Amino acid sequence: MSKRFITLMLAIGVALLFAATYIYAGTAVQDAFKMETKEYAKHTKGLVEFTHKKHTEDHKIACGECHHDDKGKALELKAGDDVQKCVACHKETGKAPEGEKLAKKEKIVKYHKEALHANCIDCHKASNKKAGDPTGKKPAPTSCNDCHPKK
């Protein structure tokens, strides 16, 4: 094998490696990240730290508990699969109308904050209830400041 051939093969190898990283970067999700949906004109509360990997691996929650399709049907995913951001469908980042002007479900479908709160907080409440800690300690956060650190 000529030196030139080896150099060429090495160059192709490096290029492939870069291509692989590039494709992977398109679907990668960080282990933990601050939720800061850019569509909000301004975040009024402290940014929520979401432990994505801990939820899927330690808390053993299926991807489809949080990611669904355009009909709300749970998606069957595996690590590395691509998903849409919640705001792609739960588009409104303004304040949802108070009271009964809009049914709770409609608010959730339209408003980003309502969708995120329904997803995160409803599961945390159910999970704490199931855990049934007699000391009243709540392992999954349900109060504003436990998720939104004080600014």
Contact residues toward ligand HEC (CB under 6 A) are: 27, 29, 35-37, 40, 43-45, 48-52, 54-56, 59, 61, 63, 65-72, 77, 79, 81-90, 105, 108-109, 113, 115-121, 123-124, 127, 131, 139-144, 146-148
Residue nearest to ligand HEC as judged by C-beta position: 72
How far apart CA 11 and CA 148 sit, in angstroms, is 48
Nearer to ligand HEC, 6 or 133 (CB): 133
Report how far residue 151's alpha carbon sits from residue 149's, in angstroms, rounded to the nearest whole number: 6
Closer Cβ to ligand HEC, 5 or 134, answer by number:
134
Which residue number, 7 or 27, has a Cβ lying nearer to ligand HEC? 27
Measured CA to CA in angstroms, residue 83 lies from 44, 53, 140 at distances of 27, 15, 25
Q: How far apart are CA 144 and CA 48, in angstroms?
A: 10
Distance CA 31, CA 97 (A): 34
Least distance CB 137 / ligand HEC (angstroms): 10
Using DSSP's 3-state secondary structure scheme, residue 131 falls into helix
Query: Closest distance between ligand HEC and the C-beta of residue 104, in Å?
Result: 8
Give the nearest distance from C-beta 9 to ligand HEC in angstroms.
33
Both tokens of residue 46? 């402290």
